[in-house]
């Protein structure tokens, strides 16, 4: 009986060893396309006509900081960069989100839509062009539109995170 147990155990170990050897799985993060190690982000253009005076600068600063902190691609000036991330704000909307029983708007939602063009400068070739949309909400019951900045900042943070993830993850 003891011999039979050892044979089964031995057979199990052999099968386990063979299956482990035949598995070829690796943990590999996303890597940039060949030759792209640096990125340049010009000032985001605002074509929305919505009238947020600091939107371009805020989005540009957020994007640059996210890329610098992520460290997948090094930030560089245009003459030194391998890739260009050109962003244009196409629209900004501010709409009622929650209306109370007395028809007072208590929460509002700001939505920002940005068109992003990611280009390989070394090959002068477009890698992708996509629209990104994200939103932030704010309490409008205790300050009207004065709290809109909270919603705008939330939308800016989300949309710049989406752009970063698209650039570094989907290659």
- Residue 87, token pair as written in the block: 């962003």
| Residue boundaries of the structural domains of the chain | 34-169
Among 160, 171, 159, which Cα is nearest to 36's?
171
Q: What's the pLDDT tens digit per position in 135-146?
A: 999 998 887 667
- Residue 139, token pair as written in the block: 């309490």
- b or e along 105-133 (b: 16 or more beta carbons within 10 Å of the residue's beta carbon)? eebbbbbbbbbbebbbbeeeeebeeeebe
Q: What's the pLDDT tens digit per position in 73-119?
A: 999 999 999 999 999 999 999 999 999 888 888 999 999 999 999 99
% of the chain surpassing 70 pLDDT: 78
- Residue 124, token pair as written in the block: 């002068």
- Per CATH, the number for 34-169 is 3.30.160.150
Q: Which helix (H) or strand (E) holds 65?
A: helix 55-70
């Amino acid at each position: 009986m003891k011999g039979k147990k050892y044979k089964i155990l031995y057979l199990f170990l052999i099968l386990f060893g063979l299956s482990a050897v035949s598995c070829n799985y690796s943990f590999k993060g996303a890597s940039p396309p060949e030759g792209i190690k640096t990125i340049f982000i010009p000032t985001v253009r605002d074509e929305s006509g919505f009238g947020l005076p600091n939107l371009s600068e805020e989005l540009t600063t957020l994007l640059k900081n996210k890329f610098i902190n992520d460290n997948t691609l090094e930030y560089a000036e245009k003459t030194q960069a391998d890739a260009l991330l050109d962003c244009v704000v196409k629209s900004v909307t501010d709409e009622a989100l929650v209306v109370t029983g007395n028809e007072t708007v208590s929460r509002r939602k700001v939505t920002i839509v940005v068109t992003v063009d990611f280009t390989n400068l070394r090959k002068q070739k477009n890698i992708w062009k996509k629209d990104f949309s994200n939103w932030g909400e704010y309490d409008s019951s205790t300050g009207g539109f004065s709290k809109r900045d909270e919603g705008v900042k939330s939308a800016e943070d989300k949309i710049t995170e989406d752009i970063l993830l698209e650039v570094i993850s989907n290659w």
